[in-house]
Amino acid sequence: MKEKIIKYIDNNKKWLFETLLEIISKDTINRLNSGNENNGQDLVENIFRKMNLKIDRFSPDEVKGLKKHPAYLAGRNYSNRDNIVGYIGNNSKKTIIFSSHIDTVPTENLNWTKSGPLSPKIIGDKIYGIGALDMKGGLAASIFALKTIIDLGIDIDGRVILESVIDEEFGGANGTLACITRGYEGDFAIIPEPTGMNICPVCISQKLFSIEIRGKVGVKMDSGSNENEPDNPIFLANKLINALLEYENYLNSLKHNHLFYKDQGKPIFFIASGIRSGVIEEDRLWTTPDILNLNLAVRNYPDGCETEELFDKKLYEFLFRDTLLNKKIKDGTITFNKHYRFFPGPRFNINSKKNKQYLNILIESGKDTTNKELKISGANFAGDLFMFNNFSSTPAVFFGPGGGNAHTADEFVYADDIVNLSKVFAYFVCRTICLQ
């Protein structure tokens, strides 16, 4: 069986590459509150039809109970944004789910040099295009894996579900939640987000803040008064950023307590994406700014940060150790506002016999089909994993290809990785639910 799968995939990998190029060429850009994923979903539906899968196409808006779910993120527009679920087999035995988001980040104002974002290209061992790595490469690999099993005529004694979901970028996660709420559950799920071929049962917890620091315009001139310097948001920001970097260092010093992160160099890194304050003009050289805005993603380990309260408690306790920051946060000079949603740490029970068994089969499938030792690790980015692990009965892992330049120009995925991934996925399905 193993040889048959390897041979089929090696002989037909052109299908995988061509399918991936076609999926990338469809504009499925997420525009924060709206999107147009149906461009890509029409194509995915067509592929599923050709594979004779049973198809369920639905808008999150039509899923009963979704909007009342505690994990639902309100405020998104879901016109022209359908989920596509394709499945085969019956649900009387085991079910394996592959779940991928088809939306990508916007591509404007980026300088693409290797290919256009929506005119993908294979150059050497890399496939370039927006979403190639995050995560149309993983989506294509999971489709190709099931196509391999079907084309080889292998009997599926259970069910395989392929989900192509919408609205993951910008913290949506409602696409995945809509599948769960609609009743798609399984024994094990794989989300082929780019993990560099590592198996990640957990990922970091994360909160993206828009931080606002208020100040007083002008400078102090009345020498001799007992008044303090007016607050300068730039200096306060400096203090705050230093404290946040100390917090990041502190969290990294705790890595040995976290099973999935202890072997990583620097598991936790905050992302500052923008800062703005004041006016850079010669006639404003003697005026301090009234406000400073800073966008920054704070992160932590998954365990111990399963709720927003726990995550916040750790962050503020650390910041409040500094007397000035303590005062300025408490009096509202510095405010932390949340973007989108909090990403809780996914709960994955590593001690469950069943979970261990699936992880072992996955590792063995990697070894058997690609001769590579797949490692278990924690992911350094957040995504839809928490939806499965915290809000469904299906344990899930991130496990996807390697590549580079995610979310920016010249994003690419390694061609070999998606071929290898297809082999591991196909053999994993065979070993878990196929009659051999």
Choose which of 37, 45, 56, 134 interacts with Zn ion (CB under 5 A). Answer: 134
Q: Is 24 in the site for Zn ion (CB under 5 A)?
A: no
CA distance 435 to 431: 8
Dihedral through CA 207, CA 208, CA 210, CA 212, nearest 10? Answer: 40
Least distance from Zn ion to the Cβ atom of residue 426, Å: 22
How far, in Å, CA of 153 to CA of 93, rounded? 19
List the interface residues with Zn ion, window 182-211 (CB under 5 A): 193
Residues belonging to the chain:
436
Closer to Zn ion by Cβ: residue 43 or 135: 135
User: Where does residue 270 fall: left (phi above 0), alpha (psi -120 to 50 degrees), or beta otherwise?
Assistant: beta
We find the least distance from the C-beta atom of residue 66 to Zn ion, in angstroms, to be 21
- Smallest gap from Cβ 310 to Zn ion, in A, equals 25
Q: Of 37 and 193, which CB lies nearer to Zn ion in the complex structure?
A: 193
Residue of 5, 133, 135, 374 that binds Zn ion (CB under 5 A): 135
Contact flag: residue 143 with Zn ion (CB under 5 A):
no
Closest CB to Zn ion: residue number: 134
- Whether residue 189 contacts residue 388, with contact meaning beta carbons closer than 8 Å, is answered with yes
Instruction: Quote the least distance from Cβ 54 to Zn ion, whole Å.
Output: 26
The smaller minimum CB distance to Zn ion, of residues 193 and 411, is found at 193
Q: For residues 368 and 410, which CB has a smaller minimum distance to Zn ion in the complex?
A: 410
Peptide bond between residue 135 and the one before it cis (omega within 30 degrees of 0): yes
Q: How far is 249 from 329, CA to CA, in rounded Å?
A: 21
User: Concatenated DSSP letters for 291-310?
Assistant: EEEEEEEEEE-STT-SSHHH
From 89-97, 135-143, 261-269, 310-318, span contacting Zn ion (CB under 5 A): 135-143
Cα–Cα distance list, 12 to 82, 152, 314, 402 (Å)? 29, 12, 51, 21
Nearer to Zn ion, 112 or 170 (CB): 170
Footprint of Zn ion on this chain (CB under 5 A)? 134-135, 193
